[in-house]
Amino acid sequence: MNTDADPALPAVTSETIIGGGGLNLTVYEGGYAGGPAIVFIHGFTGSFLSWQPQLSGSLAEEFRLVAYDFRGHGASDKPLEPANYTAGTLWADDLDAVIRAKQLDRPVLIGWSYGGYVISDYLRTHGDSEIGGLVFVGANTKNGTAEAAGYLTDDVLALFGDVLAADVQKSIDARARPPVRQPTSRSAVGTIVRQRDDGSARGQGRDVQPDSGQRRCARPHPCPHARHSG
């Protein structure tokens, strides 16, 4: 936990809840318990620590702040069977379990990077009736289409190495190793920038289509939303 947090603010606490498919998830809470709720959703290979400045910063004076570790991440369960990660409904049910376990009243969901996929999974599976707003921060929401796959060039994939391995244990081991700093090619940088600037591959508060093995946003969504890149 953040040792530099304002001593006047409540400490960030953690608890274990049951997520999708019965998997144990670790959930964190800070801020003002009586305030409007915000759920922070981290990115691939991250954890709740991605949001530590928010959990222990000025937002905590006014808002109820919740974050959690994804399945396979942080202090949550890390089963090795691929089936625990491939269904979008499991990720959706994880987020739904967080909202219900914490009894959050129409929280605002803030998803960073891979967190955009999780929000999309949630909307497709559970709808938006329990949600107060959406914020996509440098987030992805589209996958499984030729257009989305076009961004995953060899140069971009090389940045991740074995982290994207189909073998779960190999991927975990790769994440545990210190990163090897290598020059990033111009083509990889250009591809990433184009993806961030292309609304069709990013979250814009748009609704998701029925599950067809793809994670994507397509129709105008009535839920208040914001999109940030950079």
In a domain, 82, yes or no: yes
For residue 188, name the pLDDT band (cuts at 50, 70, 90).
very low
Following DSSP, what letter does each residue of 16-66 receive, concatenated?
Answer: EEE-GGG-EEEEEEEE-TTSPEEEEE--TT--GGGGHHHHTSGGGGTSEEE
In a domain, 177, yes or no: no
Q: Which two tokens mark 224?
A: 């208040």
Residue 102 structural domain: 13-143+201-228
Stronger pLDDT, 194 or 49, i.e. the higher one = 49
For residues 43-61, average pLDDT: 93
In a domain, 6, yes or no: no
Q: Which two tokens mark 20?
A: 């999708």
In a domain, 40, yes or no: yes
In a domain, 7, yes or no: no
Look at the chain and report how many structural domains it folds into. 1
Q: Which two tokens mark 185?
A: 């090619």
Q: In this predicted structure, what is the pLDDT of residue 146?
A: 76
For residue 5, name the pLDDT band (cuts at 50, 70, 90).
low
Q: In this predicted structure, what is the pLDDT of residue 229?
A: 55
In a domain, 95, yes or no: yes
